Amino acid sequence: MSLFLAPIHSIMYSKIKNQDKINSELISEFGDEKLLLKVTNEVGSLPDGELADVIDTQNIHGWLQSQIDVVEKAFSLIVENLMDNGVSKETLIKWFEDSGKKFDTADSGEELFGMFSGFYLDGMPCDRAIQPLELEDTHAKWVQNIDVHGKYWNDGGELYNELRCAMIRGMAENSGFEFKYNEGTYEVTK
């Protein structure tokens, strides 16, 4: 357990805020104020302010984990409610793919992996949930060692992974790469 804020804590909080931004954009695009209120009441929301001003410095890792729980539970609840109210899985997949295409382009497979891993929340770094296997100019391959998302989803994370893959596919296509996913292994090739 850390006794002081380190750069990794800021990186983690940035990823937490990335997921929170996706949540907000989904509500703006497909939901309404009622859904926002439901999510806030059921799972809470991130505190306003800079990390150094809002974090519990006596329990840095515990506090970060609690914020991960907030955004992960919110994401699941938002998607579940949107689908219950007529937004199709295909519509959500297309939205995530289009969102992935809004990222900057990557010049190499290694850079594309860096963009993905720098944006997506995959638990605490010590979890080692995602591990790169090959990072080259025209190719990158990484594996999911631990599913840190499934516990938040009624289907064990299957839909989460479909949406995540759609965003990665959009990121990859935007940079001229092909994307493949096979049972926990992600691969981009130019």
- 121-131, pLDDT tens digit by residue? 997 777 789 99
Number of H helices, E strands in the chain: 7, 4
pLDDT value for 3: 62
Same domain, 116 and 62: no
**Nearest Cα residue to 67 out of 10, 27, 112:** 10
- 109-149, pLDDT tens digit by residue? 999 999 999 999 997 777 789 999 999 999 999 999 999 99
Same domain, 105 and 183: yes
Same domain, 174 and 107: yes
Question: Is this model's pTM higher than 0.85 or not?
Answer: yes
Q: Residue 134's domain is classified under what CATH number?
A: 3.30.1240
The H or E element that residue 178 is part of is strand 178-182
Structural domain contains residue 46: yes
Structural domain contains residue 92: no
Same domain, 81 and 108: no
66: containing domain: 7-86
Q: Give how many domains the chain has, as a whole number.
A: 2
Domain end call among 86, 120, 149: 86
Average pLDDT, the chain: 95
**Two structure tokens written together for 130:** 């995602």
Cα–Cα distance for residue pair 101/18, rounded to 1 Å: 16
Cα–Cα distance for residue pair 114/188, rounded to 1 Å: 12
